[in-house]
Amino acid sequence: MFGGSILAYIVFCILRASVVFAMIHTSTTNLHNDMSYKVLRAKILFFDSNPIGRIVTRFSKDVSVLDFIIPILTIFIVQGIFRTVTVAITVSIINPYLFIVVAFAAAIMFYVLRQGI
């Protein structure tokens, strides 16, 4: 039993890391492609009023944020969400009446996230 739970923990950790990596890779690739598309499709007035060095510097700063800051924040957010869900499930299994509270809290959280508050 103990060995099976350790094996399940290892499998779920590997699965979580794979999902987070795929999520980060896809999102940063899409953001980079969108940024490149916008710069390449900009009007000539944009390039006349901004020196190429400023454009390249800004672009490289944005790419460094995509490469270094977003993955760390994503890992913290995903781990926090997984921890919250795990605690809610564990507490609800121990006391089934808390399913009502968990459902109410999830509905409020979903509403707040949809409103962008």
pLDDT tens, 51-94? 888 888 888 888 888 778 878 888 888 788 888 888 878 887 88
For residue 46, the enclosing domain spans 2-115
CA separation for the pair 20, 43 (Å, rounded): 37
Alpha-carbon gap, residue 69 to 29, rounded angstroms: 14
pLDDT (tens digit per residue) in 12-40 = 888 888 888 888 888 888 888 898 898 88
Domains held by the chain: number: 1
Q: How many CB atoms lie within 10 A of CB 107?
A: 10
Tokens 């980060």 belong to which residue? 24
pTM of the full structure:
0.57
